[in-house]
């Protein structure tokens, strides 16, 4: 009788042990996944036009942020051959909007606090859509 209880106890301890290990593994997996996940939530951001565009003959610097739940500025106009520098406003760029892409140009960049600058040379004249990699935030790059 006493042995039977002992056996059940050790069984129970074994089951609890396995359950704890399973929970630990699941939490560890979830942490790894969420670390790599840039998120899916849109944030409202600041006021439209707050992210100013700085322009000179050779360079165009754009501060890219978020306003009204979308990229701000929504339209970026540059000149053919101009060096373009997009600086991510990390206070505003949140979630998946940090994963920025201009598909037609094969450009993609994940802005982060340690690296929030994207530089490229404006291609030939045309209109090139940009978006977050999920297509939630959208805008247009116009090359004149």
- Residues found near Cu ion in the complex (CB under 5 A): 96, 132, 134, 136
Least distance CB 97 / Cu ion (angstroms)? 6
Q: Which residue lies nearer to Cu ion by CB, 132 or 141?
A: 132
Q: Which residue lies nearer to Cu ion by CB, 12 or 43?
A: 43
Least distance CB 143 / Cu ion (angstroms)? 24
Contact between residue 125 and residue 86 where contact means Cβ atoms under 8 Å apart: no
Per DSSP, 107 falls in state E
Report helix, strand or coil for 41: coil
Contact between residue 68 and residue 44 where contact means Cβ atoms under 8 Å apart: yes
Per DSSP, 5 falls in state H
Q: Which residue lies nearer to Cu ion by CB, 19 or 43?
A: 43
Least distance CB 124 / Cu ion (angstroms)? 28
Residues forming a β-bridge with 106: none
């Amino acid at each position: 009788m006493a042995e039977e209880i002992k056996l059940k106890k050790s069984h129970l301890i074994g089951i609890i042990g396995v359950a704890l290990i399973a929970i630990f593994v699941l939490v560890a997996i979830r942490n790894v996944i969420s670390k790599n996940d840039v998120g899916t939530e849109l944030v409202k951001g600041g006021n439209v036009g707050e992210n100013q565009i700085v322009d000179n003959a050779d360079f165009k610097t754009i501060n890219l942020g978020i306003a009204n739940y979308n990229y701000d500025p929504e339209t970026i106009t540059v000149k053919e051959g101009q060096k373009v520098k997009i600086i991510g406003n990390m206070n505003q760029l949140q979630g998946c909007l940090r994963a920025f892409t201009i598909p037609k140009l094969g450009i993609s960049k994940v802005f982060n606090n340690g690296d929030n600058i994207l530089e490229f040379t404006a291609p030939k004249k045309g209109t090139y859509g940009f978006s977050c990699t999920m297509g939630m935030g959208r805008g247009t790059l116009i090359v004149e």
